[in-house]
Chain A
Amino acid sequence: MDCCPSIKNVLLLDSEGKRVAVKYYTDDWPTLAAKLAYEKSIFTKTLKTNARTEAEIAMLDGYIVVYKFIQDLHFFVTGGDDENELIIATVLQGFFDAVGLLLRNNVDKRSALENLDLILLCLDEIVDGGIVLETEASVIATKVAANSLDGATSLSEQTISQALATAREHLARSLLK
Chain B
Amino acid sequence: MTETIDNAVFVLASALRLAVPLLLACLAGLWSERSGVVDIGLEGKMLGAAFAAGAAAAVTGNAWVGLAAGVAASVALGLVHGYASIDQRGNQIVSGTAINMIAVGLTALLGAAWFGQGGRTPPLEGAARFQPIALPGADAAAAIPVLGPIYRSLISGQDALTWLALAAAPLTAFVLYRTRFGLRLRAVGENPAAVDTAGISVRALRYAGVVICGALCGVAGAYLSVAQAAGFLPQMTAGKGFIALAALVFAKWRPGAALATCFLFGLLDAAAIRLQGVELPLVGQVPVQAIQALPYLLTVVLLAGFIGRAIPPRASGVPYVKER
- Asked if A pairs with B, the answer is no
